[in-house]
Chains A and B, each alone.
Chain A
Amino acid sequence: MTSRRAFLQRSGLIGLGFVAADALATSERLLAAVPGLDPGDPEVPNEEVARILKDLFGDRPIRKGHLTLDMPVVAEDGRIVPVIIESDLPMTPEHYVKAVHLIVDHNPDPHLAAYHLTPAIGSVAIQTRIKMKRTTWVRAIVDTSGGDVWAAYAHVNVSLNGCG
């Protein structure tokens, strides 16, 4: 005889299985929607981030490198989280970084800032302070005059929601 508890446990497990399969399918679909990402990169968490990446970079590969994104591992106060973005890419009239995009995956407005640069800026060394809603991946992605796309990622644990 199947006890009620065992039945519930089993159906619960089956339920979990469905949820997991569904989540897996969703993440695979989102990854497919952003063709440029490497398998080892932070998963694209939702349609909005997928759309932002697609709109900005199309089908171009988004490769890790030439860029550092310095952020705290733990942000006590999500209202003020320091960000430092630096790159060793050249800033000459022939080859330069056109734009730096800052994307915070789980913020209400994930595409937090875009910094459009010219060779007169001389280097990519941007510092600012941002708000973060909760623990998430942050993406700094640069677009170069030659069409190459370079990225750096940081995982930030947020203790206090800074977005309301």
Chain B
Amino acid sequence: MAIGEARIRIPDRITRGDLITVNAIVMHPMDTGFFRTAEGKPIPAFFIRDVVVTYGGEQVARFEWTSGVSKDPVVSFTLKADKEAPLAITWTDTKGGVYRQTADIAFTAA
């Protein structure tokens, strides 16, 4: 997978008011700057440093990361599903790369 490819996983069935778990992954090398290639060339630091989570356009969380987060970073958190609206996550890396993924929060009929 290419850098910046991202997936968001939410439950299949959601009822209004549920506290759901959101799982997200983005492909990224998360280079610390401390490693070298096999030829001995230093690999410069290159990592995701900012993650913004919006729900229906409103910011609900923001994460500040360093290169200490593992390669192809995963994060999971909860969300109070109180409206039918898109959940969007935007990852920004140290070279200005911006990666975005969305998941639609929709309620199953009771």
Mark A residues whose CB is within 8 Å of B.
79-81, 91, 104, 107-109, 111-123, 125-131, 162-164
Contact = CB atoms under 8 A, between A and B. Distances in A.
B68 A115 contact: no
B57 to A, nearest CB: 12
Contacts, number: 96
Nearest to A162: B70
Contact of B34 (A80, A108, A113): A108
Contacts of A162: 70
Closest 3 A-B residue pairs measured CB to CB? A164-B34, A122-B80, A112-B68
Given A109-B66, A109-B68, A128 B79 contact: no
Given A122-B80, A126-B76, A108 B61 contact: no
Interface of B: 19, 21, 30, 32, 34-35, 55, 58-71, 73-80, 82
A125 B63 contact: no
A99 to B, nearest CB: 9
14 contacts: A112-B65, A120-B61, A120-B79, A121-B60, A121-B77, A122-B19, A125-B21, A125-B76, A125-B77, A128-B76, A131-B30, A131-B32, A131-B69, A164-B34
A104 B70 CA distance: 14
Q: Which of B55, B60, B68 has the most CB of A within 10 A?
A: B68
B27 to A, nearest CB: 14
A113 B68 contact: yes
A163 B69 contact: no
A163 B32 contact: yes
A63 to B, nearest CB: 24
B76 A123 contact: no
Contact of A130 (B61, B68, B80): B68
B68 A163 contact: yes
